[in-house]
Amino acid sequence: MLHTLFYRLAYGLGRPPWDTGITPPEVVQALASGTIPEGAALDLGCGTGTNVVYLARQGRQAIGIDFVPAAIAKARARARQAGVAEQVLFFVADVTHLEALPLPRVAFALDMGCFHGLSSEGRQRYAEGLAALMLPGGHYLLYAHEPALPADRSHGVNAEQVQVLFTPWFNVERIERSGERDRASAWYWMNRKGSPS
């Protein structure tokens, strides 16, 4: 509840600090790699849609999910302005209940800053829902903060927790850690187990 309120306030009060309008190089590299199978792309916790528009511009059907209506309204406007409205689908919805949405199977999934704020039950449901949705061989790129303190369960996730949670369904190919000011974080490059058909 507090989590939802925090994000509603953050978007309601103006432009939150993470809403840079810039697609990071890690996402650009992933799309340019040529190794992602054909198919739709999904941004989990898409905020105001910068990366959904980027994914649509790469020729993919792009789907954005966020539980803050004001963020999705801005994302829809951004997609219209960019001329990609026909290629995008947005949902005001909870990423921990993906099974409730009429989504196609996806070949690429992105999460920048959403997963690390979920409860442990939410993370489990999210991982199961995402695994069910992703095509074999599909790529999943996750950017997540690490916990500020090792015992902090409310925000942040470490590499071991990510691996334990996702390895039933995903191969963790690469982890790139970095420290942003006082906050350590990492990019996780994963792909869905199973051969692309």
According to CB under 6 A, which one of 68, 103, 127, 162 is a site residue for ligand SAM?
68
Strand blocks (E) in the chain: 40-44, 62-66, 88-92, 106-112, 134-145, 170-180, 183-192
Out of 37, 39, 47, 156, the only residue in the binding site for ligand SAM (CB under 6 A) is 47
The token pair at 42 is 């999904």
Among 30, 36, 63, 112, binds ligand SAM (CB under 6 A): 112
Rule CB under 6 A: is residue 96 a binding residue for ligand SAM? yes
Candidate residues 52, 95, 107, 142; the one interacting with ligand SAM per rule CB under 6 A:
95
| Phi and psi torsions of 76, nearest 5° | -65, -45
Do 42 and 68 meet the contact criterion of CB atoms below 8 Å apart? no
Footprint of ligand SAM on 133-152 (CB under 6 A) = none
**Which of the ranges 63-71, 74-82, 129-137, 178-186 carries the binding residues for ligand SAM, by CB under 6 A?**
63-71
Q: Does 19 bind ligand SAM (CB under 6 A)?
A: yes
User: Which residues on neighbouring strands pair with residue 42, listed in sequence order?
Assistant: 63, 109
